[in-house]
Structure 1
Amino acid sequence: MLTPEVPMSHSVAGEPPSAGRRATPLTTAVYSAAEWDLLTGLPGRVIVAATAPGPGRPRRGVAEGLAGLEAVAAGRSFDSDLVRAVVTAIYARHDGQPVPAADGTDLVDLLAACRAVVRLLDRRADPADSAAYRQWVQSVAARVCRAVPPGVFRPTGEPLSPADRRFLDRIGDALGLR
């Protein structure tokens, strides 16, 4: 069964998109809807997993989740068409709509999704866009793990806990950054 492709942002003749239709960046034209959902969903899954408790890792709260959202938004300034398009799609997807409650993201499933994204990007993305996307997703996890909740004093430069370091290392490995 063929998967529908994400529409291109221009017509075949090169005219602007028809009125009332949101233009999709050219970057997205090479991804199927399922592939685009994987790319746009991974940063949120990383935030959920990074804020979830795990062996040696406490449950994190609102401050840490907000740090992850700020890291997602920081993708707007990346020098990568793919990262900027993903951020735009994430924010467009939820404009005016409630964000669905995230079920806990199992770390094994998250790591599998990271590896699937790497395979997808190897097949379809420019190498620079692939590297930028993977580094951006890793930075989302790192910002959550490094966030300091209100009322907690942690000296600047204090190292991450061994459990957080392992978590980030596993994400980095799955994203092909190690």
Structure 2
Amino acid sequence: MSHSVAGEPPSAGRRAAPSTTAAYSAAEWDLLTGLPGRVLVAAAASGPGRAERGVMAGLAGLDAVAAGRAFDSDLVRAVVAAIYARHDGTPHPTEQLTDLVDLLAACRAANRVLRRRADPADSAAYRQWVQSVAARVCRAVPSPGERRVDHLATPADRRFLDRLGAALGLR
């Protein structure tokens, strides 16, 4: 097996793919690996009734994605590895979409894929991890120059997290 230093691609053109990925089609895997980034972007976006988010919120989201490396789930660790393997700087095609309706539809689609293909424990871990990305972004404490707001105090943030949880099958 090829080992690489963190952040470097696998050596000699070989792709290190966890066996977990074999259970998914390319489109399903793209959905599962793109969803955390889409959730991060949507959670960081301001909107009616939602506070303006700053750099700290984005960093909190990135930290929440990276925290998936320590999950006791082969699926979550494989998704995080795939996210970090995108070293060419191009965004995942689905990370550019932040429309809430499309995001919730993608969450429901991922939930269906996970019900069909994933071990129930991996499915639950993945869905909870994706929800935790949004929650950490919404709870991020602004940096010193940013306006300080209790982000979860807004009903809009709570509705966003509730709708996301429902779409992921957590409620």
Give TM-score, length-normalised by structure 2: 0.85
For the pair 1:116 / 2:109, whether they are aligned, the reply is yes
Larger radius of gyration: 1
Q: Report how far residue 58 of structure 1 moved.
A: 2.4
Q: Report the secondary structure of 2:72's partner residue.
A: coil
Select the structure with the greater relative contact order (CA < 8 A; seq sep ≥ 6): 2
**Unaligned 5+ residue runs, structure 2?**
2-10
Aligned structure 1 segments of 4 or more residues deviating by more than 3 angstroms: 98-104, 152-155
In terms of mean alpha carbon deviation, does 73-82 or 96-105 score higher?
Answer: 96-105
Q: Report the secondary structure of 1:79's partner residue.
A: coil
Give TM-score, length-normalised by structure 1: 0.82
1:146 corresponds in structure 2 to 139
1:4 corresponds in structure 2 to none
User: Which structure has the highest helix share of the two?
Assistant: 2
**Unaligned 5+ residue runs, structure 1?**
1-8, 10-17
Q: Report how far residue 20 of structure 1 moved.
A: 3.5
2:128 corresponds in structure 1 to 135
- Residue number among 38, 44, 55 corresponding to 1:51 in the alignment: 44
1:90-129 to structure 2, matched below 5 A, reads 90-93=83-86, 95-99=87-91, 103=96, 105-129=98-122
Per-residue CA shift, 1:146-167, capped at 9, x if unaligned?
A: 0011125568xx9532111111
Q: Number of matched residues?
A: 159
CA contact (8 A) 1:82 1:133 kept: yes
Matches of 1:167 and 1:120, distance apart in 2: 22
2:165 corresponds in structure 1 to 172
CA-atom RMSD, angstroms?
2.2
Question: What is the identity percentage for the equivalent residue pairs of Structure 1 and Structure 2?
Answer: 75
